[in-house]
Each structure stands twice: as structure tokens, then as C-alpha cells.
Structure 1
Amino acid sequence: MADDKMSREEAGRKGGEATSKNHDKEFYQEIGQKGGEATSDNHDKEFYREIGKKGGEARDND
């Protein structure tokens, strides 16, 4: 019996492709800005220092 369900990865990829066809660069800039504002309301400078440090370390290991 064949399993006709698609994987989460495939479903996510298809959803992302469909979304990107329906929205332009300004849409993504706007939702990114809204997400950044929401995140900044919930975190302090130390949070951003720590994630910046971790990101820099991860880049050094690439």
C-alpha cells in the first residue's frame, strides 16, 4: 500500500513557493519589520548581544 502523504519538508517547500509567487519584496520587508518590532518588545540588549555573538561564532565555523 502506497503512502500518498507528502513529507513536512515537501509541504513546507510547496507552501513557500506558493507564497513567494503571491507576494513581492515589500510584503516580506513589512512582515520582517513587524516581527522585529514584536521581538524587540520582548527582549533586552543582552539578548541581542548573545544571539549576535552566537551568529558570529557560527559564521566563523563555516
Structure 2
Amino acid sequence: MITNNTARASAARTSTRAANSKTTPAGKSLRGFAAMDPAEQRRIASEGGKASHESGRGHRFTSEEARAAGRKGGQASRGRSNQGGATR
């Protein structure tokens, strides 16, 4: 059996949670990175990139590598990829 005090406390928690949470237009509440300020997201993501390069696992494309990667992407988007001969 729920007492009045328990029901009131539960309602207070629910309304506080609703007031503090951010929601999307679809009504879903945002969590984690999605609920953060965009500047804070960039700062945290930047730390990951810096750590990656410091550990030697990061990679910077040279202009030649970037050109080759762009060429491959362009070929794939024109239907020349390895999709078993599927055409549009």
C-alpha cells in the first residue's frame, strides 16, 4: 500500500527529474554527450584526439593520402564499389 507521503515523494522526484532533463522534439530525454553543452562536447572530444596522437595511434593524412581517399570515395559513390555487380 502506498502512503500519501510515499506518493508525494515519488511525484516530487518525477517532477524534479522532468524539470532538470532536456528533451528532443520527439520527446526523448537526452543523456550523456547529447545533454551536454556543445562547447563541453568539443573539449572532451579534443582531449581524446590529443591522447590518440600522444600515444602514437593518431594519424594525420598527407595531401597525397587525402587525395587517394577522396578518389576512392568518389568511385564508390558512382557505383564502382565491390557490391557484387549490383547496379542502381
When normalised by structure 2's length, the TM-score is 0.34
Rg larger in structure: 2
| Larger relative contact order (Cα-Cα within 8 Å, sequence gap ≥ 6) | 2
Judging by fraction of residues, say which structure has more helix: 1
